[in-house]
């Protein structure tokens, strides 16, 4: 298998999108830490303020990332 690296440049600033994505991941992680189910977390994340740059797919991915982080840390 060969890996091909392609240079990618964009004129769009992705920092606000990444900041909102990280906010949803942290929020979802904390809700999973409280013992909420994925359905409940999904509904509460959709009601968050200031995540207007994220589409439904990115919100869903952020919830999955928060759940993965919670399950990977067996404390």
- The residue-averaged pLDDT of 6-18 equals 87
Q: Can you tell me the distance from the alpha carbon of 44 to that of 29, in angstroms, rounded to the nearest whole number?
A: 12
Tell me the pLDDT of the chain averaged across its residues.
Answer: 91
3-state secondary structure of 7: coil
Whole-structure pTM value: 0.82
In this prediction, residues 33-39 reach a mean pLDDT of 92
* Mean predicted confidence (pLDDT) in 25-29: 96
Per-residue pLDDT averaged across 11-39, rounded? Answer: 93
* Confidence label for 41 from pLDDT (cuts 50, 70 and 90): very high
Q: What is the pLDDT of residue 75?
A: 60
DSSP state letter for 19: H
Percent of the chain that is helix, strand, coil (3-state, to 5): 60, 0, 40
């Amino acid at each position: 298998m060969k890996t091909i690296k392609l240079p990618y440049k964009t004129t769009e600033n992705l920092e606000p999108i990444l900041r909102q994505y990280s906010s949803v991941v942290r929020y979802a992680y904390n809700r999973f830490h409280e013992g909420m189910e994925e359905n409940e977390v999904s509904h509460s994340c959709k009601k968050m303020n200031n995540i207007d740059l994220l589409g439904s797919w990115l919100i869903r991915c952020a919830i999955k990332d928060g759940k993965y982080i919670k399950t990977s840390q067996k404390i």
